[in-house]
Amino acid sequence: MTTVNVGQAKTELSKLIALALAGEDVEIARDGVPVVRLVALEPTKPGARFLAAWGSSAGQIRIGDDFEFTDAELDEMLDS
């Protein structure tokens, strides 16, 4: 396990991230007392969080069928 103080962590952040990605435990200390742990995250599929949010809203969102404008309404909007 690697333990560094905050000041050292600021200057060596890239190195500490590399260590965490390699699987090593990295702790950051304040005045010699560990306060946080730097860990690698599990990779996620792109959009996974977005899709999960939509799935949890199933049945709660309703879209009416009257949201389209007629040709005459569009012409009127574009002419003004």
Q: Domain total for the chain?
A: 1
User: pLDDT band at 58, cuts 50/70/90?
Assistant: low
Enumerate the H helices of 1-80 as residue ranges.
Answer: 6-11, 13-21, 48-56, 71-79
> Which tens digit of pLDDT belongs to each residue from 19-35?
999 999 999 999 999 99
Rounded CA-CA distance 54/24 in Å is 36
Q: Answer with the residue of higher pLDDT: 72 or 14.
A: 14
- Tell me which residue range forms the domain holding 11: 2-79
For residues 23 and 26, give the distance between their C-alpha atoms in angstroms, rounded to a whole number: 9
* CATH at 10: 3.40.1620.10
pTM, to two decimals: 0.53
What are 37's two structure tokens? 């742990």
Give the residue, 79 or 64, on which the prediction is more confident.
79
